[in-house]
Amino acid sequence: MAKKWKDPLYGAVLYGQSGGPSAVINASAYGVIKTALESVHVTKVYAAENGILGILDERLMVMNKEDPEELERLLHTPSSAFGSCRYKIAAPEDDETDYKRILDIFESYNIRYFFYNGGNDSMDTCNKISRYLKKKRYDCHIIGVPKTIDNDLYGTDHCPGFASAAKYIATSIMEASRDSHVYNTGLITIIECMGRHAGWLTAAAVLASENCDGPDLIYLPEVDFDMQDFLDDVIRVYEGKGSCMVAVSEGIHYADGTFVSEAKTSATDGFGHAQLGGLAAKLTAIVRAATGAKVRGIELSLLQRCAAHCASQTDIDEAFRAGEFAVESAIAGESGKMVGFSCSRRNGYTCKLVLVNLEDVANEEKKIPLSWITSDNSFVGEKFVQYCRPLLAGEPQRETVDGLPRFAKLKKVFTR
Amino acid sequence: MAKKWKDPLYGAVLYGQSGGPSAVINASAYGVIKTALESVHVTKVYAAENGILGILDERLMVMNKEDPEELERLLHTPSSAFGSCRYKIAAPEDDETDYKRILDIFESYNIRYFFYNGGNDSMDTCNKISRYLKKKRYDCHIIGVPKTIDNDLYGTDHCPGFASAAKYIATSIMEASRDSHVYNTGLITIIECMGRHAGWLTAAAVLASENCDGPDLIYLPEVDFDMQDFLDDVIRVYEGKGSCMVAVSEGIHYADGTFVSEAKTSATDGFGHAQLGGLAAKLTAIVRAATGAKVRGIELSLLQRCAAHCASQTDIDEAFRAGEFAVESAIAGESGKMVGFSCSRRNGYTCKLVLVNLEDVANEEKKIPLSWITSDNSFVGEKFVQYCRPLLAGEPQRETVDGLPRFAKLKKVFTR
């Protein structure tokens, strides 16, 4: 009797992480690894070190040899536990070397399921590998697991990692806001958030206003930045209430596309030399010179993307489920897809897992709709608040030792 | 029958906050206010706005009019809820104006108990007022409640506020450490912590090493900084393990006393112009120039002193008890004292409340014993770890709304 095409593949699982770390990418890792370890169709579960680089270098860790309790601690362990990479794979038409190597590795370990966890570039890599293996008639089911604090992936309501970073930003701004109202002297505070091309993270600052005195002004990379308008806005708020709190995205740029952080000279700032600090330090100096007020700059830095201690339980749950669903879908025969979230916010928040074509996702960038930004380009509206608020809910019950986090300690047993 | 001198005073309580904010100063406020509101000897409970400035301006809030539930939320509300000040009161010998005004206010509100919550300068203020009122034979019991993230108050094992800031620093460094090991490329990370004259907070970075890859080097203001030694240290570590994480105190200084952050030129750094960023940005540029490595600077900024979301429950409990004990002691007849902690770390951690003379505390600065710093001046030893570790324990059960903190909302009903 001929083999039915619908029979699940029987073979090994390979998982890899790529792109910038997040507070919950390891929750997705745990979703993939746990589900794969429990599947009767899976012979072995491997994780590549440093994503695609670890595949090319044959640095594969055997997940079957890990202690299940340590693996579970991945739920609350930030950053990429298996190492990440920013390797941009060539198009197979231009250079087949990497693909041949990948096929070799997949064949020698009988990899029949591959899960790649990352953002835009990673989904592109995932898509290229998927297409190549299909062309070579190597039977392997490939599913992308979304991850990016930038929240700019197409085809999904939001991305795992975003909500926890957003929660850290809103929480930190609430606390900084309390701090900035302590003395009876005026103060302007400028807070720099991550987001080079999309303003989702910076916009999350608005949530600090829900039951606290949050930011007065928010500047996003979705619209052009004008230094004079910015100074006018800051001065207007400061003169009105004696203080002003500003959230700016690192990616704000002038109309000609130049990043404000990189612009070396301008009539307004008057600096002719290279700046050591980042955007916050630069704007702080400019506002101080223009107002004479006390101005404080805060760069939230990489702490915003790895703050597992301030993670959203909703985010952790969804990240885990994305990994789990990826494995379930692959075993059910799906391939060339990315896990996405389809959410509703009517009658409470619900999040449904879906699959989207990798072709459609790869290299598309999702930005905040312009209609969600106020017409003066200096704040976000209620639509963003309604979108973002439910994603932050839930306090994780983390394990601590003497008050400090207990992260997963993996054995990392390599195949060779 | 003659009035017995030991009878408790019957009158109003006044509470004020001073100096820099902390994550738990409001827990001390709640300790004072709750205990005072429940005392049969207390007629009214007032809180001054902006500390001593609010007393001089007669900006007093009536705590009896606050909702008890909101007052209880002070336990998890960071920063100084009643406003603070950095007002340095003159010595009464030099200028009696402020003291006369204070006496006027105390008389008109029948203030018989005064609690001032702050650091070194605040204890000095407290002491001066105490001596003045005694000289004027105005019967008022005055107790200082310690508060400073800098942990530099004399006469107490440690200060409320320190442990929560230390916990934030160690937690953030653990998370940043995970983040910095993600790519298979070298990285040097420089993390700047608060502490102008005492290195307690920066030293707390060492706790990140307990169950994680923490800092490799720690530089404190207790010893002189040498730029060449620093670069040699960093290069040695970096060449050995391919990465290096450094914690530096904002107050590190050269042998001549110049702060490294303020030194404008040096043969080593080669910068002749003013720097916009802080110390971390400066050292980052210097290390980058000296090594050619990828270097990342992180300034933990004021977030470290107001991070109630990462507070130590031990710290919250002790801060509350310090306030409570201040009121109990004052009603029992004590005055001219500061609440201190006497702790033991044998057979587990215990903390006993004591009273120390304000005279002995005022303006003394407690620094890390030199014997706790390694002989090469680039790390701290086990004695510091044993001292600090128990202070961080305990995760607060905070109230959240949609995943974000719910801070106290006070009515702030003023007396006029």
Q: How far is B262 from chain A (nearest CA, A)?
A: 14
**What is the Cα–Cα distance from A406 to B7, expressed in whole angstroms?**
53
Q: Which residues contact B285 (CB under 8 A, 6 or more apart)?
A: A276, B269, B271
pTM for this model (two decimals): 0.95
Residues B81 and B46 in one domain: yes
Q: How far is A63 from chain B (nearest CA, A)?
A: 19
Contact B172 A307 (CB under 8 A): yes
Q: Which residues contact A257 (CB under 8 A, 6 or more apart)?
A: none
* A398 domain residue, yes or no: yes
Residues A269 and A299 in one domain: yes
Residues B90 and B130 in one domain: yes
Q: State the catalytic residue, choosing from A98, A121, A124, A150.
A: A150
Say which CATH number the domain at B29 has. Answer: 3.40.50.450
Smallest CA-to-CA distance from A86 within B184, B176, B181 is with B184
pLDDT band at B5 (very low <50, low <70, confident <90, very high): low
Please name the residue ranges forming H helices in B109-246: 120-135, 162-180, 200-203, 227-241
Contact B306 A179 (CB under 8 A): yes
What is the CB neighbour count within 10 angstroms for residue B264? Answer: 11
Please determine, for residue B196, whether its predicted confidence score (pLDDT) is greater than 70. Answer: yes
* B181 domain residue, yes or no: yes
Contact B302 A176 (CB under 8 A): yes
| A303 chain-B contacts, CB cut-off 8 A | 172, 175-176, 298
**What is the Cα–Cα distance from B282 to B277, expressed in whole angstroms?**
7
| B276 chain-A contacts, CB cut-off 8 A | 275-277, 281-282, 284-285
Residues B166 and B255 in one domain: yes
| B78 chain-A contacts, CB cut-off 8 A | 175, 178-179
ipTM for the assembly: 0.95
pLDDT digits 0-9 by tens, B267-303 = 334 343 444 458 999 999 999 999 999 999 999 999 9
Cα A402 from chain centroid? 29
| A310 chain-B contacts, CB cut-off 8 A | 309-310
Mean pLDDT of B164-174: 98
Place of tokens 């459609």: A360
* A416 domain residue, yes or no: no
Please determine, for residue B321, whether its predicted confidence score (pLDDT) is greater than 80. Answer: yes
pLDDT of residue A270: 39
Residue A310 three-state SS: helix
* A387 domain residue, yes or no: no
Q: State the catalytic residue, choosing from B98, B150, B315, B317.
A: B150
| B21 chain-A contacts, CB cut-off 8 A | 178-179, 182
Smallest CA-to-CA distance from B235 within B202, B283, B188, B179 is with B188
What value does the mean pLDDT of chain B take? 93
Contact A407 B181 (CB under 8 A): no
pLDDT of residue B271: 40
Contact B276 A296 (CB under 8 A): no
- Domain extent at residue B110: 11-148+307-363+395-405
What is the CB neighbour count within 10 angstroms for residue A378? Answer: 22
Question: Could you tell me which chain B residue has the CA closest to the CA of A349?
Answer: B402
Q: Tell which of B257, B286, B306 closes a domain.
A: B306
Contact A175 B307 (CB under 8 A): yes
Residue A350 three-state SS: strand
Q: Which residues contact B159 (CB under 8 A, 6 or more apart)?
A: B119, B146, B147, B148, B149, B150, B151, B152, B153
Distances (CA, A) of A189 to A176, A406, B174: 9, 34, 27
pLDDT of residue A146: 97
Q: How far is B404 from chain A (nearest CA, A)?
A: 6
pLDDT digits 0-9 by tens, B393-415 = 999 999 999 999 999 999 999 99
Residues A99 and A205 in one domain: no
Contact A277 B277 (CB under 8 A): yes
What does the angle CA A215 – CA A216 – CA A217 come to, to the nearest 5 degrees?
95
| A299 chain-B contacts, CB cut-off 8 A | 299, 301
Identity of the residue in B84, B176, B285 whose CB atom sits nearest the CB atom of A302:
B176
Identity of the residue in B179, B284, B312 whose CB atom sits nearest the CB atom of A306:
B179
Residues A143 and A222 in one domain: no
Residues A148 and A182 in one domain: no
Mean pLDDT of B341-350: 97
| B174 chain-A contacts, CB cut-off 8 A | 404-405, 407
End-to-end C-alpha distance for chain B, whole angstroms:
39
B150 part of the active site: yes
Cα B381 from chain centroid? 23
**What is the Cα–Cα distance from A14 to A136, expressed in whole angstroms?**
19
| A406 chain-B contacts, CB cut-off 8 A | 211
Quick one: A343 exposed, middle or buried, by C-beta within 10 A (0-12, 13-18, 19+)? middle
* A413 domain residue, yes or no: no
Residues A263 and A129 in one domain: no
Question: Could you tell me which chain A residue has the CA closest to the CA of B185?
Answer: A85
pLDDT of residue B277: 57
Residues A177 and A70 in one domain: no
Residue B127 three-state SS: helix
Contact A404 B273 (CB under 8 A): no
Residue pair B373/B135 in contact (Cβ under 8 Å)? The answer is no
Residue A38 three-state SS: helix
Q: Tell which of B259, B279, B306 closes a domain.
A: B306
pLDDT of residue A213: 87
Mean pLDDT of B183-202: 94
Residues B15 and B101 in one domain: yes
Residues A133 and A167 in one domain: no
Express as a percent the part of chain B with pLDDT over 70. Answer: 95
DSSP B269-297: T---S--SS-HHHHHHHHHHHHH-S-EEE
Contact A83 B183 (CB under 8 A): yes
Q: What are the φ and ψ backbone dihedral angles of A12, each rounded to 5 degrees? A: -95, 155
Q: Which residues contact A1 (CB under 8 A, 6 or more apart)?
A: none
Smallest CA-to-CA distance from B318 within B123, B161, B122, B203 is with B161
Identity of the residue in B171, B276, B392 whose CB atom sits nearest the CB atom of A277:
B276
Q: How far is B51 from chain A (nearest CA, A)?
A: 10
What does the angle CA A393 – CA A37 – CA A145 come to, to the nearest 5 degrees?
45
User: A14: which strand partners?
Assistant: A46, A114
* B410 domain residue, yes or no: no
A25, A175, A317: which to substitute to probe chain B, counting the most B Cβ within 10 Å?
A175
Q: How many CA atoms lie within 13 A of B280 on its CB side?
A: 26
Residues A237 and A265 in one domain: yes
* A124 domain residue, yes or no: yes
Q: What are the φ and ψ backbone dihedral angles of B224, each rounded to 5 degrees? A: -70, 145
pLDDT of residue A277: 57
**What is the Cα–Cα distance from B63 to B113, expressed in whole angstroms?**
14
CB contacts < 8 A, A to B, total 198
**What is the Cα–Cα distance from A217 to A247, expressed in whole angstroms?**
6
Report the number of distinct structural domains present in chain B: 2
Contact B183 A85 (CB under 8 A): yes
Say which CATH number the domain at A178 has. Answer: 3.40.50.460
Q: Give, for all 416 residues of chain A, the pLDDT tens digit.
A: 444 456 788 999 999 999 999 999 999 999 999 999 999 999 999 999 999 999 999 999 999 999 999 999 999 999 999 999 989 899 999 999 999 999 999 999 999 999 999 998 999 999 999 999 999 999 999 999 999 999 999 999 999 999 999 999 999 999 999 998 888 888 999 999 999 999 999 999 999 998 788 999 999 999 999 999 999 999 999 999 999 999 999 999 999 999 999 886 443 343 434 444 589 999 999 999 999 999 999 999 999 999 999 999 999 999 999 999 999 999 999 999 999 999 999 999 999 999 999 999 877 789 999 999 999 999 999 999 999 999 999 999 999 999 999 999 999 999 99
Contact B276 A275 (CB under 8 A): yes
* B373 domain residue, yes or no: no
Please determine, for residue B232, whether its predicted confidence score (pLDDT) is greater than 70. Answer: yes
pLDDT of residue B264: 66
Please determine, for residue B333, whether its predicted confidence score (pLDDT) is greater than 50. Answer: yes
**Beta-sheet pairing, A295-299 with A187-193:** parallel
Smallest CA-to-CA distance from A58 within A16, A118, A113 is with A16
Q: Tell which of B270, B288, B306 closes a domain.
A: B306
Place of tokens 């974000």: B404
